[in-house]
Structure 1
């Protein structure tokens, strides 16, 4: 009975829910659930078919179904009929404003919540301060012709959108996550942030994935930098937990003039290229500003080029409502002039693959190679990562010989690539699937809880 139903209110009966006449339901149903609220009620078939579930006004109020839930899925197990899923999007950074209740990120979340009907979920935004533990309810933020607040039960599923590691490690946030997961057994997806070195070491365990990984080590000694420069000609020194290209240094050894060059971006945004006559001086320059224990050293790759500039790719993968990985977006990123990376905030340009010029490789073959690699890595990451992940943003490169390289995997990928006009459909798809996966997770928690809570 996994299909979408619209909700209608009936006022000529009490404590009643009516399902379509053609609905195949067991005869023993006697309770209905929405979120963590379960109540006994009368469940019957109506005279007409179609995709409409009719609920009495009093039952609607008891279940705390908000007036912005016109479409839901219906599941049943044992004697319970489940309406949902009710999806809580957990984040932080709330303010007091009604127009932008979560500051500049309000527009991002309004777009995410705008696809909930298509996904067949009821989704809301909440933070630690919105939880009423005694009542078992949340004063959730909904988006429907503007931001509105409604009191709802604890959700069936929680989608983690904590914005950064610092917030994630706050004791209050940790306590909320632990309590909702352990005490209330609410499935939680996309928790945490990937640690670059940890991900590298985990993926290295699989031979089929190890071929995608550039040599990477923690920055433990000067000799590692020296050896890798000798092997590869150029390397990257980057933060273990960095994002958006911040703190990345490209180091190049020029064999002709026997000098070392370092390309990076200052905190002010200014791009720099510095020359050093010894590697010691170069390393000292980096470690004077960054703690060496927070850095890693990575093999440099001679990337394929477009418009005479290095190009790599952002590939998004999402799990759908069947719990299967699929590639939802691919964008090419062309490095900006004088930049150590292809990030947009360093002058990088986003293009659709079909827009790339002067490439030796066929565009369709290029897409197939990226899709195949991203799906293989997604499945491996899922196997080697704690928690339930449902979306990943990959930075993938292809060298001049056609070999695929994984540079980074992000559990909470940025969305700047979707500003490109040709990626609007992909933007919509990634948002829809990030909520649709909650349908799968909710059904699994009902029918196969051992797979969720193992």
Structure 2
């Protein structure tokens, strides 16, 4: 397993790399690499017996290695020592302003890149317009103590996909960049693609362990289908197949005593409408052309906090060895009259301490949610194409104690970290989303054929 080391720089024009005294290397190592750039160099143990790397400015310049680096990993391959890993974070929506290169998302990316020292990687932000295909370089954006700065670096060892939405993901240029870097340059690209709710449900339904967490879910096809599910469950949710952030989610309830149908949803504000017939409700709220983009899902009567339904956001990440971990657990309490627990709909983020009555209940919540999230993460990882390194799950606990999966998010939002009590989890999730690149780089160095047969 690769180990993290400190790195320093000294003024010398010749390409020299001093290695930590504790690092045993063959004497025939004569090349240093950073990203895709490889140069010949004098490589020998640190003359002062120190346990850090020391690179000459000459070597750093030839490798296009930023001299502000403090922590890195190293990987040995034949006669070469690779320093890094260099991690490209691919996104879109760049602006011409270097102080805010990604517009409103610049602060989010600044926080992500600030985890570089803890992760021991070298992350930078880039888009398709920043690539110089002829020279094999990228004009990327780095973030440090002085703020944002652009630097020219080699092609990275791994790429973390942070495209903001499905629209940007479907653009021809975005697809071409991904395909070219993966297939022609053999660079592992992780967390590609937004999940399709129905596809995830169908894949997990085939898994004997994961399927027990699934509420009944179908493409929306008929009034009869909704009537049957309302008769079975008393409540259903109708939501977009490719939706996110709680947009377009409608809660449909049937009151047997009055024979009335209720629809709760958000349209600038939380709304509740009452209808005498289901057909009237559906025709009023949905247009027929929407139907092929909607799913209908079994409603679950959830545990509550002061009478308001609660569900949970569970973050899972892979570590430097490729193993799944639960990195954050937060409760989300629905806003008054809201069909979802999203903050924009009036929802509130709370910790388990704030909603559990005692330590035993808190431990039970954490245990059952963590077990479900890890089982679901492994199942999705097995059944869905691509390299997946993080998943955010929206899970619920029914009034009977059963755990249910509502949604799996390949690019989970970070709104739960607005709760100050989740600051450590915020840092951990950012660190692990970067440090997974260590695992990918190590695999590439040791057995590149396994990843790209």
TM-score normalised by length of structure 2: 0.97
**In 1, Cα distance between the equivalents of 2:351 and 2:239?**
27
After TM superposition, give the deviation of residue 359 of structure 1 in Å: 8.0
User: Which residue of structure 2 aligns with residue 314 of structure 1?
Assistant: 313
**Is the CA contact (8 Å cut-off) linking 2:139 and 2:151 kept in structure 1?**
yes
1:239 matches 2:240: yes
- How do 1:346-357 and structure 2 match up within 5 A? 346-357=345-356
Q: What do the CA deviations read for 1:178-229 (whole angstroms, capped 9, x no partner)?
A: 1111110001100000000000000000111111000000012222111111
Q: Which moved more, 1:437-446 or 1:62-71?
A: 62-71
- How do 1:319-330 and structure 2 match up within 5 A? 319-330=318-329
1:265 matches 2:266: yes
Tell me the secondary structure at the aligned position of residue 198 of structure 1: helix
Q: What do the CA deviations read for 1:147-170 (whole angstroms, capped 9, x no partner)?
A: 101100000110000000000000
- How do 1:142-161 and structure 2 match up within 5 A? 142-144=142-144, 145-161=146-162
After TM superposition, give the deviation of residue 418 of structure 1 in Å: 0.1
- How do 1:298-377 and structure 2 match up within 5 A? 298-357=297-356, 362-377=361-376
**In 1, Cα distance between the equivalents of 2:67 and 2:222?**
60
After TM superposition, give the deviation of residue 254 of structure 1 in Å: 0.4
User: Which residue of structure 2 aligns with residue 133 of structure 1?
Assistant: 133
**In 1, Cα distance between the equivalents of 2:20 and 2:148?**
32
Tell me the secondary structure at the aligned position of residue 198 of structure 2: helix
Tell me the secondary structure at the aligned position of residue 39 of structure 1: strand
**Is the CA contact (8 Å cut-off) linking 2:90 and 2:160 kept in structure 1?**
yes
Q: Which moved more, 1:4-13 or 1:22-31?
A: 4-13
Q: What do the CA deviations read for 1:9-32 (whole angstroms, capped 9, x no partner)?
A: 333562221212332112221211
User: Which residue of structure 1 aligns with residue 62 of structure 2?
Assistant: 62
User: Which residue of structure 1 aligns with residue 384 of structure 2?
Assistant: 385
After TM superposition, give the deviation of residue 6 of structure 1 in Å: 2.4
User: Which residue of structure 1 aligns with residue 226 of structure 2?
Assistant: 225
After TM superposition, give the deviation of residue 323 of structure 1 in Å: 1.1
**In 1, Cα distance between the equivalents of 2:388 and 2:285?**
34
After TM superposition, give the deviation of residue 42 of structure 1 in Å: 2.0
- How do 1:1-12 and structure 2 match up within 5 A? 2-12=2-12
Between the two proteins, the alignment pairs up a number of residues equal to 452
Q: Which moved more, 1:172-181 or 1:7-16?
A: 7-16
**In 2, Cα distance between the equivalents of 1:449 and 1:222?**
52
After TM superposition, give the deviation of residue 368 of structure 1 in Å: 0.7
After TM superposition, give the deviation of residue 361 of structure 1 in Å: 6.8
After TM superposition, give the deviation of residue 451 of structure 1 in Å: 3.0
After TM superposition, give the deviation of residue 230 of structure 1 in Å: 1.1
Tell me the secondary structure at the aligned position of residue 401 of structure 1: coil
Tell me the secondary structure at the aligned position of residue 135 of structure 1: coil
**In 1, Cα distance between the equivalents of 2:66 and 2:289?**
49
**In 1, Cα distance between the equivalents of 2:105 and 2:76?**
36
**Is the CA contact (8 Å cut-off) linking 1:307 and 1:357 kept in structure 2?**
no
- How do 1:207-226 and structure 2 match up within 5 A? 207-226=208-227
Report the CA distance shift for 1:426/1:356 in structure 2 as closer, same or farther (over 3 A).
same
After TM superposition, give the deviation of residue 284 of structure 1 in Å: 1.2
**In 1, Cα distance between the equivalents of 2:107 and 2:22?**
40
User: Which residue of structure 2 aligns with residue 72 of structure 1?
Assistant: 72
Tell me the secondary structure at the aligned position of residue 291 of structure 1: helix
1:189 matches 2:190: yes
Q: What do the CA deviations read for 1:331-389 (whole angstroms, capped 9, x no partner)?
A: 00111111111111111111001111558971111101111111111111100110011
After TM superposition, give the deviation of residue 88 of structure 1 in Å: 0.4
User: Which residue of structure 1 aligns with residue 18 of structure 2?
Assistant: 18
**Is the CA contact (8 Å cut-off) linking 1:138 and 1:152 kept in structure 2?**
yes
Residue segments in structure 2 that go unaligned for 5+ positions in a row? none
**In 2, Cα distance between the equivalents of 1:55 and 1:315?**
41
**Is the CA contact (8 Å cut-off) linking 2:138 and 2:154 kept in structure 1?**
yes
User: Which residue of structure 1 aligns with residue 419 of structure 2?
Assistant: 420
Tell me the secondary structure at the aligned position of residue 104 of structure 2: helix
**In 1, Cα distance between the equivalents of 2:45 and 2:359?**
62
1:34 matches 2:20: no
After TM superposition, give the deviation of residue 99 of structure 1 in Å: 1.9
**Is the CA contact (8 Å cut-off) linking 1:306 and 1:358 kept in structure 2?**
no
**Is the CA contact (8 Å cut-off) linking 1:4 and 1:51 kept in structure 2?**
no
**In 1, Cα distance between the equivalents of 2:379 and 2:356?**
33
**In 1, Cα distance between the equivalents of 2:6 and 2:296?**
54
User: Which residue of structure 2 aligns with residue 108 of structure 1?
Assistant: 108
**Is the CA contact (8 Å cut-off) linking 2:233 and 2:298 kept in structure 1?**
yes
**Is the CA contact (8 Å cut-off) linking 2:12 and 2:57 kept in structure 1?**
no
TM-score normalised by length of structure 1: 0.97
After TM superposition, give the deviation of residue 52 of structure 1 in Å: 1.6
**Is the CA contact (8 Å cut-off) linking 2:316 and 2:327 kept in structure 1?**
yes
**Is the CA contact (8 Å cut-off) linking 1:20 and 1:47 kept in structure 2?**
no
**In 1, Cα distance between the equivalents of 2:51 and 2:223?**
67
**In 1, Cα distance between the equivalents of 2:358 and 2:198?**
32
After TM superposition, give the deviation of residue 78 of structure 1 in Å: 1.2
Tell me the secondary structure at the aligned position of residue 209 of structure 2: helix
1:98 matches 2:98: yes
- How do 1:282-293 and structure 2 match up within 5 A? 282-288=281-287, 291-293=290-292
Tell me the secondary structure at the aligned position of residue 178 of structure 1: helix
User: Which residue of structure 2 aligns with residue 280 of structure 1?
Assistant: 279
